[in-house]
Structure 1
């Protein structure tokens, strides 16, 4: 990984999610890699039934890709995600075990969105990204759509739901915890400058 000539990573800036064990971290450090900001992983066991999210949730298909894309752009300041990007994502093989969900408020406004990725029955599933429309924050929609994500992964046969967020996003960590996720010890990605 530290030698671009081996073909694992190309030359230039690169990031890796390295195990937190000292051997890996030390070896990367010796090869010029730098610790990045801390990330907080969170996990929810899906053995027990998942509660109702309390809001209307819709599974997004091709006809509503524009809704999913609009919520993502309104949730993340620098997002350039479009419905064309959604169609490209949904056409890929990894999307076979994935779903996009949108939460709606009582007036029918799309207020939050999440994508879930199942690795198959009995294996952990991932939710990423989850975002709440900037005009609808502070009303519990992040928690609701995260609960819906856990339920969707459970329906897909996942044993647990996992998510990871920058530790500096204290609101995101709190949202995941309020949706029944257990906070795990933080870890740091490693990066190599160009």
Structure 2
């Protein structure tokens, strides 16, 4: 099921579409192992084709998207809304839950009509990769299996309460999405100072940054911008048409970092919440 979902998501990525679930999101979740990833994926089919894909990202958040040609389909919207609002259908539990989906779909309209509310805003950002990306001005290394411990250590030092480990990097890297991904680490005088993983969806399609972090001992020195620029360059080498990232709008530092790295903010997006 996991690889089926990845394949569908690759096909749906377009620069003219709203920010949506990306195969890189599934690739990042693959750090928990294939069994966990398969358990977290939800697929909806119609006429023998996949028409929607979801990722249960934790117990109370469903991140999902709909095939571009089915986003105004009334019957599908009602089917999805019924599945998601009914706890015994195994998509989301009872209580306060959240759904992330693309803007402008009939599904979103229907959820609001049924009493769901907008949650806190997120800012998607995009960098066009039609032109060459400048040098990041720091030493960058592509991380493979031999140095997964370096990447993992930087990521743990970048996010409070992070549980990322070398073993989780290996679990992520053997997943099918990682065939079109790169993990990079930035170095300053021999110290690993920032890390990023970027995910291509194939040539001519937008790629995704997930995650990017700067070691807490090395912040405020431009390493976030540098590693983001390096990530954009890696996506361009992989054939991506653009680089995408999404961060909470309240994280003004992250938004500023991405803008400094040449990313333009897109209209804010909101999860939908049912209390």
TM-score by length of 1: 0.91
| 1:41 paired residue among 117, 124, 134 | 124
Aligned to 1:90: 173
Structure 1 position 79 matched with structure 2 position 178: no
CA distance in structure 2 between the aligned counterparts of 1:164 and 1:151, rounded to whole angstroms: 18
Aligned to 2:82: 3
Count matched residues: 192
* Post-superposition offset of 1:28: 1.3
Structure 1 position 51 matched with structure 2 position 130: no
Aligned to 1:125: 207
| 2:248 paired residue among 134, 146, 166 | 166
Which structure has the highest helix share of the two? 2
CA distance in structure 1 between the aligned counterparts of 2:163 and 2:274, rounded to whole angstroms: 25
Q: What pairs with 1:103-182 in structure 2 (closer than 5 Å)?
A: 103-105=186-188, 107-182=189-264
Change (3 A) 1:22 1:127: closer
Structure 1, gaps ≥5 residues long:
none
CA distance in structure 2 between the aligned counterparts of 1:172 and 1:139, rounded to whole angstroms: 14
Structure 2, gaps ≥5 residues long:
1-79
Structure with the larger RCO, 1 or 2 (CA within 8 Å, 6+ apart): 1
* Post-superposition offset of 1:7: 5.5
Residue-by-residue CA offset, 1:122-160 (whole Å, 9 max, x unaligned): 110001110100110000000000000000000000010
CA distance in structure 1 between the aligned counterparts of 2:249 and 2:99, rounded to whole angstroms: 17
Aligned to 2:145: 62
CA distance in structure 1 between the aligned counterparts of 2:274 and 2:175, rounded to whole angstroms: 29
CA distance in structure 2 between the aligned counterparts of 1:33 and 1:63, rounded to whole angstroms: 47
TM-score by length of 2: 0.66
Change (3 A) 1:53 1:16: same
CA distance in structure 2 between the aligned counterparts of 1:131 and 1:187, rounded to whole angstroms: 22
CA distance in structure 1 between the aligned counterparts of 2:231 and 2:97, rounded to whole angstroms: 30
Q: RMSD in angstroms over aligned alpha carbons? A: 1.9
